Structure 1
Amino acid sequence: MEKADLQNLGEILSPIALGQASSRSDLQLVTGLSRVTVTQRLNLLLDAGLVIETTGTIPSGGRPSRMLALNPKSGFMLVGDIGESFVHLAAVDLDRTVIDESTLTYSTTMPPQHVLAMICEEFKRLASAASGNGVALGACLSLPTPVDYERGRVVGPSVLPGWDDLNIIEELQHELGVPSLVENDVNLMTIYEYRQNYGEIDDLFFIKAGTGIGSGIIADGRLFRGAQGAAGDIGHIQFIDEKAPLCRCGKPGCVEARAGGWAIARDLTAVGLEAENARDVLKHLRAGKPEAIMLIRNAGRTIGEVISDVVSILNPRVIVVGGTLAQAGELLVSGIRELVYQRCLPLATRELKIVVSAQFAERALFGAAYLLFENIFSGPGHLDFIARTCRPRDA
């Protein structure tokens, strides 16, 4: 198929996939094309099975129009979430329904090339299992570490030693032969929370309160990464005093060193309650240990200190608190609210909501699917998708 033909079909497919058009009249309005041209190009996409007419209808002043949608079974995406001791991988269709999935165990001490090789081999198996759902659009990996999104590289210090100089995107694309992305897990959790639960709100701030502390920013309806992808790194904002605890990053007084799950576990261990991470902290909390209750409340106030500055600068409409420690509910969030409402101007807090996220373990995995989908259909990737799906006779 000629490049011009691909671009012509892409001009119709992209707004349907991104939800900008759901009828022929919508397509005319969005593209500026004539009814005849829209019909000709749309018929090619319908014949190729990339677009379907759904059972829903749209009032049109005459006979109701059938709604148009991307065929969720016309392709699939490969997504993965690398944790600190496991890798969860999945093939999902274009509606983000899981076709097949698997979990690999690994250690952060393993050579990164070895871990990536394991992931690619499993992605290939998942792609084979999903081949009945069309072609692979691409792959996206979530990483538990700061990521330079544009360069596709880990930025240290991180919990993944040795990954800093590895071009992860290049490795994935070489092995899988499809467009590939990598992103920080908190950014992907933020994308999931926004797209899944708060799509009508353009300004959102997501806090991951777990073993570590991180955040993601939705500003004017888009993920805000900053110049090198470091925006939202609230866990390493410092509060310096004489007793400032040492953080894992090597600096004293970081928010994470005061309120992260590992820091609370450290303080519990110091008073004779064995704990290593945020999950252990919750166990002591559920057992009613007063030391755990006190430390969780203090953690909420510490997080609230830095969030009050965030509210003054970004003025979000909603703050969503997620992560393992969010299971502490109001014990944690009440401290955040206390500091935010105490320190911020009424204008910034008048309509502000601070809520606990519904617990869902796979936020980063499905955030990867949202990111990959939007990247493909808002960029040139969907032209490759059309080229691999539409046969020459359809052109």
Structure 2
Amino acid sequence: MSDIVRERPLVAPEAASLLAILRDGVPRTRAQLAELTGLARSTVSTRIDSLTASGLISPAGDAVSTGGRPPARIAFKPESRMIVAIDLGATHGVVAIADLAGTILDSESRRLAIADGPEPILDWALDTAKRLVAETGRPLADLVGVGIGVPGPVEHSTGMPINPPIMPGWDRFDIPAYVAASFAEVPVLVDNDVNLLALGEQATAWRDQSDLLFVKVATGIGAGIINGGRLQRGAQGSAGDLGHVRVPFTNETASHSAKDADLEALASGPAIARSLSAAGIPATTSEDVVALARSGNPDALQAIRQAGRDLGEVVATCVNLLNPSVVVIGGSISRVGEQLLAGVREVVYQRSTPLATQHVTITQSKAGETGGVLGAAIMVIQHVLDPETAHSTPVRR
């Protein structure tokens, strides 16, 4: 079991709100910052000096003079630090280096099997991360955190996977402690991969939307919930576990082998593959399903459409409950085209209330392969820079 330690904050709590203004990338003068914050100019100057000393902001030229010496402007300097971001799925892994604006500077991906267990998977990810950090030519002191996404439930306070159904050997494995052997001086944050995909999707395509539901359909099924602009993890971190929600049988849906069944047993990639195999069409994995659909196989396309309807039964309840403005469908099965989305839309618009669906957008993910690592980087950025979290907090080691 790892110990709880106190990390040294990157930003002094009193300066975090000032930095939050500058993080939009717009250079400002001290007078403008004083006006925006309502603080005295002397207080603003003190906090600017603190942020300048940390390297997080720097001079950005002069503003237009209104008489006399032009006032100097200050700007956020996201390139001053870097983040290691790791996205682990059931069959893939991505490792990236990002800056404090969430810009991906370099990345590397590979196919893997999460069922191989934590040590070999994390060893690959850490070896890759150390090499990418070294290739930047920058000192390790510039690293401010490591963010990791895994395809299973994570106890957010400890960073440990808890009874993950598709991750044998990972139950209660202390990921932060294992990673700290390679990156001991920075916080190590771990979350469910779908939560991080939600963060990455919002940053990529929906910055102005504060209520977003991201649903991943791949080897498993899960959801990331952004409500009121904040990622919602629930009390222990298990919010969004859609895979084990029971899908009801209704007169409008195709008959299942049981009156109702878990969503993951009906609409995940392996579940679709099983239904195709039972119909005499060779398919075992999500990749097989995608290949069949892309080749135009009518049975595969129909199976994906039905999976969309089954998914829509559960998403409709989420829309009624959460009232998101955007529902994003991601994961490998979503990449086959409109069949999955069409099935989801068909049921959601029938089952959800008119007010909840009046302005909701149901769309395919736009973040692509880097969505998970972008979300992992954003998780670290929020932890070290946001006013609500820019202070000493318990971190697992």
TM-score of the superposed pair, with normalisation by structure 2: 0.83
Question: 2:348 aligns to what?
Answer: 340
Any idea what SS the aligned residue of 2:348 has? helix
- CA distance change for structure 1 residues 291 and 19 in 2, over 3 Å: closer, same or farther? same
Instruction: Report if aligned partners of 2:247, 2:314 keep a CA contact under 8 Å in 1.
Output: no
- CA distance change for structure 1 residues 356 and 66 in 2, over 3 Å: closer, same or farther? farther
- Give distance in 1, aligned partners of 2:166 and 2:348: 30
Instruction: Report if aligned partners of 1:99, 1:130 keep a CA contact under 8 Å in 2.
Output: no
Question: 1:151 aligns to what?
Answer: 158
C-alpha deviations, 1:250-277, integer Å up to 9, x for none? xx71111111111111111122222222
- CA distance change for structure 1 residues 329 and 323 in 2, over 3 Å: closer, same or farther? same
TM-aligned CA deviation for residue 369 of structure 1: 0.7
Letter of the 1:141 counterpart: I
Count of residues in correspondence between the two structures: 378
Q: Does 1:167 align with 2:174?
A: yes
Letter of the 2:97 counterpart: A
Question: 1:210 aligns to what?
Answer: 218
* Match for residue 130 of structure 2 among 124, 128, 142: 124
CA RMSD, 1 decimal: 3.4
Instruction: For 1:182-197, list aligned pairs within 5 A.
Output: 182-197=190-205
- Give distance in 2, aligned partners of 1:40 and 1:166: 44
* Match for residue 33 of structure 1 among 28, 39, 42: 39
TM-aligned CA deviation for residue 129 of structure 1: 2.7
Letter of the 1:84 counterpart: A
**Bigger shift: 211-220 or 84-93?**
84-93
Q: Does 1:236 align with 2:237?
A: no
Question: 1:70 aligns to what?
Answer: 76
* Match for residue 20 of structure 2 among 15, 22, 39: 15
Letter of the 2:143 counterpart: A
- CA distance change for structure 1 residues 62 and 237 in 2, over 3 Å: closer, same or farther? farther
Question: 1:292 aligns to what?
Answer: 300
Structure 1 spans left out of the alignment, 5+ residues: 247-251, 385-395
- Give distance in 2, aligned partners of 1:220 and 1:254: 29
- CA distance change for structure 1 residues 61 and 143 in 2, over 3 Å: closer, same or farther? farther
C-alpha deviations, 1:289-318, integer Å up to 9, x for none? 221121111111111111111111111111
Query: Which of structures 1 and 2 has the larger relative contact order (alpha carbons within 8 angstroms, sep 6+)?
Result: 2
Instruction: Report if aligned partners of 1:154, 1:163 keep a CA contact under 8 Å in 2.
Output: yes
- CA distance change for structure 1 residues 60 and 68 in 2, over 3 Å: closer, same or farther? farther
* Match for residue 89 of structure 2 among 83, 88, 91: 83
**Bigger shift: 320-329 or 298-307?**
320-329
- Give distance in 1, aligned partners of 2:125 and 2:310: 38
**Bigger shift: 4-13 or 158-167?**
4-13
Question: 1:390 aligns to what?
Answer: none
- Give distance in 2, aligned partners of 1:8 and 1:358: 35
- CA distance change for structure 1 residues 60 and 150 in 2, over 3 Å: closer, same or farther? farther
- Give distance in 1, aligned partners of 2:284 and 2:69: 64
- Give distance in 2, aligned partners of 1:124 and 1:152: 21
TM-aligned CA deviation for residue 320 of structure 1: 1.2
Q: Does 1:260 align with 2:268?
A: yes
- Give distance in 2, aligned partners of 1:152 and 1:33: 38
Any idea what SS the aligned residue of 1:368 has? helix
Q: Percent identity?
A: 35
- Give distance in 2, aligned partners of 1:118 and 1:196: 27
